[in-house]
Amino acid sequence: MAGVTFTLRLDDVAPRAALARAVAGARDLTPLMEEIGSVLVNGAVERIGQTNVTPEGTPWPKSLRAQLEQGTTLHDSGQLMRSITEEASPGQAVVGSNMIYAGVHQAGATIRAKSGGALSFTLANGESVMVGSVTIPARPYLGVSEDEAADIEGLSVLYFTDLLEGEVH
């Protein structure tokens, strides 16, 4: 180079420290997983309590009880909605319900009598019925909607940005 030169050296202590924080934060993502779990719990609660749609936005088949009572499907007593919890660990967020019927509503099921050949029960309108089986359609409430995916992406970016900038989680 002719004339004049200017040399700039990057003191790599700060970038190395930021990357070390990011690597350490990536080893145990529990704080991020707790936030992601909260997003997913809130989404499931909203689906049960308000929107009555799958995570993809497809409306659930309306239950007979909800039709007869002008109510909300999967939200009679509110127990299912209140039972949804999250559990975070270093590499995952698990969201679900411990209610015995939670899986039936999520995936659907056909229920058959254990013995006697018929199920006997009373409908929401008071009518007594006897049938060989009952098919309950799937009404998925657990999952990730587009909005929740965007929220999770934003939380993830913020988590690692904070780590790089020295914020503690």
What band does 169 get if pLDDT is binned at 50, 70 and 90? low
Average pLDDT, the chain: 89
Q: Is residue 110 part of a domain?
A: no
Report, as an integer, the average pLDDT of 153-164: 92
Residue 74 included in any domain = yes
Structurally, the chain folds into a number of domains equal to: 1
Instruction: Give percent above pLDDT 70 in the chain.
Output: 95
In a domain, 82, yes or no: yes
pLDDT at 2 > cutoff 70 = no
Decide if 90 is inside a domain: yes
3-state secondary structure the chain: CCCCCCCCCCCCHHHHHHHHHHHHHHHCCHHHHHHHHHHHHHHHHHHHHHHCECCCCCECCCCHHHHHHCCCCCCCCCHHHHHCEEEEECCEEEEECCCCCHHHHHHCEEEECCCCCCEEEECCCCCEEEECEEEECCCCCCCCCHHHHHHHHHHHHHHHHHHHHCCCC
pTM of the full structure: 0.82
Q: Is residue 58 part of a domain?
A: yes
Domain of 53, in residue numbers: 13-103+140-164
